[in-house]
Amino acid sequence: MPHEPARMRTSYSSDFLYTLTTDELRMDGFRRAMATHRAKRVLEIGCGPWAPLVKLSLEASAEHVTAVEASPAHAQMARKQVAHYGDRVQILSGRSMSLPTELLAEQEPELLVAELLGYTASKEGAPAILADVQHRLGPLPTVPKRASSYLAPAQTLEVGLYDSRNFPEDLHLAEGQLWEDYDFECLEKQKPQANNEGSLQEQLQQRKRLTFQVPVGSEVGGTLLWMQTELSDSNVIDTRRDFTSWNQYYLHLEPQVVEDGQLEVCTAVDARTEDVTYEFQVGQRKFSVV
């Protein structure tokens, strides 16, 4: 997984971001999530140049959308995209964390929307960004509601050409297990939920020790990493199962043979800022993304 600082994520090309708007599964998931909430006033973080989620919000029920966009060029393009909605849409240029609370809160949003999900749940900084808005504006329902990342030990990838949205199924040596999980609606003042997780603020640093049973004597070449998001209740996209514009990662490590068939994997994520760091220890091999 390459390190991609926050400043690079805000310079995604408008062509690349256009392809996201043609991902029907993704767009339909967001459309259904917006329809569920029927919010009149929406705040979006990261509307991109095409502002597709602003349009979906207005089509669903919104009377007003405030959208924040960190890239000045994208913000300018987004303004053109939504010009015909007049004063029903306001595009704010800047990084959400640097904008004054009064500006974000001006229209009294009822729903917080942000598609800041990468190939993993935290990679684009969604946990820190949403925790900051939730902290400053008070409890808001969110779309997506939650996001998590999964990991499965994988065989050594043979030399070849692979579509990173569609790695072969038989690459898996065991079922995937969850290694990071964010409930974007679980705020400081709320009690931990059924699965005993902490508030969103407390979720920003996560460590997991996972044990996988792999075939005895098998060679582990690395791990597959992917993301799952619940956009609204029972409206789930899993980037390993579903064919979407989100890629999956193959984390290549030097191959190792697991003699007893038991592979231990330790993960550590620090998502307290937009520049998230990761550590993976897979059996004898270590890998950091900082």
- We find the least distance from the C-beta atom of residue 23 to ligand SAM, in angstroms, to be 9
Bond into 5 cis (ω within 30): no
In the complex, least distance from residue 45 CB atom to ligand SAM, rounded to whole angstroms: 5
Interaction between residue 152 and ligand SAM (CB under 6 A): no
Question: Please, where are the H alpha helices in the chain?
Answer: 6-9, 14-21, 24-37, 52-60, 72-81, 101-105, 126-137
Q: Which is nearer to ligand SAM, 21 or 218 (CB)?
A: 21
Number of CB atoms found within 10 A of residue 38's CB: 11
Considering the complex, state which of residue 15 and residue 170 has its C-beta at the smaller distance from ligand SAM.
15
| Dist. CA 156–CA 141, nearest whole Å | 42
CB of 130 to ligand SAM, least distance (A): 10
Measured over the CA atoms of residue 208, residue 144, residue 51 and residue 27, the dihedral's sign is positive
Give me the 124-143 binding string for ligand SAM, x by CB under 6 A, dash otherwise: -----x--------------
Out of 31, 37, 95, 285, point to the residue binding ligand SAM (CB under 6 A): 95
Q: In the window 261-290, what residues touch ligand SAM (CB under 6 A)? A: 274
| Region from 4-12, 140-148, 240-248, 262-270 binding ligand SAM, contact rule CB under 6 A | 4-12
Q: Does 115 bind ligand SAM (CB under 6 A)?
A: yes
**Is 200 in contact with 182 (CB distance < 8 Å)?**
yes
Give yes or no for residue 46 binding ligand SAM (CB under 6 A): yes
Output the CA torsion 101→106→111→116 (10° steps).
Answer: -50
111 is a contact residue toward ligand SAM (CB under 6 A): no
Residue 41 phi/psi, 5-degree rounding, is -130, 125
Q: Which stretch binds ligand SAM (CB under 6 A): 57-65, 67-75, 154-162, 171-179?
A: 67-75
User: Which residue, 50 or 212, is less far from ligand SAM as judged by CB?
Assistant: 50
The answer to whether 71 contacts ligand SAM (rule: CB under 6 A) is yes
Q: How many CB atoms lie within 10 A of CB 76?
A: 13
**3 state DSSP class of 171:** helix
Nearest to 124 by CA among 247, 251, 244, 250: 247
Least distance to ligand SAM from the beta carbon of 56, Å? 9
Cβ–Cβ under 8 Å, residues 171 and 154: yes
Show the beta-strand stretches assigned E in 164-204.
177-183
Joined tokens for residue 95: 């990084």
Q: Does 116 bind ligand SAM (CB under 6 A)?
A: yes
| Residue (115 or 181) nearer to ligand SAM, CB | 115
Binding site for ligand SAM (CB under 6 A): 9-10, 12, 17, 20-21, 45-48, 52-53, 68-71, 74, 95-96, 115-116, 129, 274
